[in-house]
Homo-oligomer: A and B are copies of this chain.
């Protein structure tokens, strides 16, 4: 049980975390800060936060748990704003989709206060942004990845594990490097592809008409293309190397399929589809991790 959650960034992710903690009875009050005064006021009106803070530092003051839920590129600035109150024993977390850049920023800014920061990435989200879409169930049944460093206080890592588990998450631990490589593959590249695909449609004279004929396959395939441009610009830039590496592997696989098409090589084409189809059929969202060591 925490006394006070300091929420920095009152968007979908932060707002949902606050609501989930409240619903689970894990926090007495929530003090929220947002860059935009109207957002923080909306968050208060909606009951997502109890008290509006006038600065990030004031949201941290008196809190025993702090969630930094700002776009990845704003994380370093947030660290700077709050570093004087990053005290031992207080649990600081973020929710960023990339972890190496966040960890680098934490090292640079927090220095000897680094042990208080437990980098976190909950694998959840929606294609709508904004505190008004906050949902106490957003994290229910999802995975959350923690990427603690050698210096991170193990007591806080345990606290972080417990709080995410208490709101329904499966908690996994990885290095920031492995995290970024994995999410370039399973999240960032699919987003890049979906954006590029939509742009290819938009760039054609008949593209609009085409889209009117699209069915449920298109709907699901392209859903992530509706994601927040601000957030995704930051993610694609901050995990650039890994994303480009994954894109290269994807292009090679696409080349191979198109070669089979050009050669009228139905057998090879079918084999490639078969391989994709059977691995996707075997996948499921809630499959337990293969290596027990990776789970909490």
Contacts and interface: CB of A to CB of B under 8 A. Distances in A.
B232 A273 contact: yes
Interface in A78-113: none
A187 B217 contact: yes
Contacts of A251: 251, 254
A276 B198 contact: yes
B212 A190 contact: no
Contact of A199 (B142, B212, B223, B276): B276
How often does this chain occur in the complex, in copies? Answer: 2
A287 B237 CA distance: 34
For chain A, the bracket of interface size reads 35 or more
Given A187-B215, A207-B185, A213-B186, A198 B280 contact: yes
B214 A237 contact: no
Contacts of A250: 196-197, 200
Contacts of A182: 206, 209-210, 213
Contact of A253 (B197, B206, B232, B236): B197
Interface string A190-223: 1111111111111110111111111111111111
A143 B193 CA distance: 26
A81 B21 CA distance: 66
A147 B232 CA distance: 40
A213 B276 contact: no
B285 A215 contact: yes
A58 interface: no
Nearest to A252: B200
A27 interface: no
A51 interface: no
16 contacts: A124-B215, A181-B206, A181-B210, A193-B221, A196-B276, A198-B279, A199-B272, A209-B291, A215-B285, A217-B224, A220-B223, A227-B273, A232-B273, A233-B269, A236-B273, A244-B262
Interface of A: 123-125, 127, 142-143, 145, 172, 181-183, 185-187, 189-204, 206-230, 232-233, 236-237, 240, 243-244, 246-247, 249-254, 256-258, 261-262, 264, 266, 269-270, 272-277, 279-281, 283, 285, 287, 289-291
